[in-house]
Structure 1
């Protein structure tokens, strides 16, 4: 992605935080016609030493798993909070509006997970991420039903080979920060989240959290 240096976040912990807070990702591959093919899926994120791994699955009728098998290199994007930036945040009038947003792009190498037990473990990890209490209900379901559900999906492991993290919060325009933070802090959910990230990045003179 286009990544000017002032928005290029090199701190891996910031990328991981953004990915974990917004795990519903876009998985992008190339289809048989050479065009981008996108699936929108939740991903489980694991740190295995220095290696970052993403785990997920798609419905078996979704051809995406076939594209991953044929062309394992793919792209995963995570979109964080985003909001309009009004020129009212500046002390002068010779300004234009823009958009602030947070995003992570991961280049990945994919492999399919075919073992039924490994697929079941992957599902339990996703359940643990989003509704741990459901694990008991899943375990209580009839084995035949569980097997039917497992056979209806294709699971995959995505080894992350490169991470780009873009935190676009008008870092290069410090004269806007006070008013921008004030407007975002009083705004909608995304805007309040961006105000929190301004604090995290120390744009308001506070220490990063």
Structure 2
């Protein structure tokens, strides 16, 4: 039940919560790094890749250069759900959340560095009155580009959990959508139960 999702759910989670833990299969967890990632999709909207960049000084860069299998862990909306939100005192509290666990083959490429930075900046600056652009750093921009490297990660496995009230009866589901104090959580509960809330 909680593993049922659509391509649009995965895309939305990566877009709204792009900061992922990146880990090497071959290394201790202490080398894990948090990086903002951008999704790449096929014509059907299926996640096929991730685009990012990292510092060349990170141990993870050396590890993934030697063995390019990586795990990307995304955490989406999450929060405590009280019986108060369900409208029933005999209802047990729970924790709702969404998460993606992705396995991918990483390919570092200097030619991707500027593209990865520009796309991330454009995505994060979208909608601002005067969007910032990386070249505004002047000479520091070239120095920064030399210290990082772009990469693509070809997705090989996606394991998703969207635990967002799909197991609740209709009355509790509607109450949660109305009463939970976190608007992001309410939005995700609505999205994952769209057929039942029409």
Same fold (TM over 0.5): yes
Cross-structure match for 2:183: 192
- Over the aligned positions, Cα root-mean-square deviation in angstroms equals 2.3
Counterpart secondary structure, 1:150: helix
Q: Which residue of 1 aligns with 2:158?
A: 163
Q: Aligned runs of 1:1-209 on 2, under 5 Å? A: 6-30=1-25, 32=27, 34-35=28-29, 37-49=31-43, 52-88=48-84, 89=86, 91=88, 93=90, 95-115=91-111, 118-131=112-125, 133-135=131-133, 138-142=134-138, 144-174=139-169, 175-184=171-180, 187=181, 191-202=182-193, 205-207=196-198
Query: Residue 99 of structure 2 aligns to a residue in which SS?
Result: strand
Q: Report the CA distance shift for 1:16/1:98 in structure 2 as closer, same or farther (over 3 A).
A: same
Runs of 4+ in 1 over 6 A off after TM superposition: none
Shift of 1:165: 2.2
Q: How many residues align?
A: 190
Change (3 A) 1:203 1:86: farther
Normalised to the residue count of structure 1, the TM-score between the two structures is 0.80
Q: TM-score, normalised by structure 2?
A: 0.84
Distance (whole Å) between structure 1 residues aligned to residue 189 and residue 195 of structure 2: 7
- Rounded to whole Å, the distance in 1 between the matches of 2:18 and 2:136 is 27
Instruction: List alignment gaps of at least 5 residues for structure 2.
Output: none
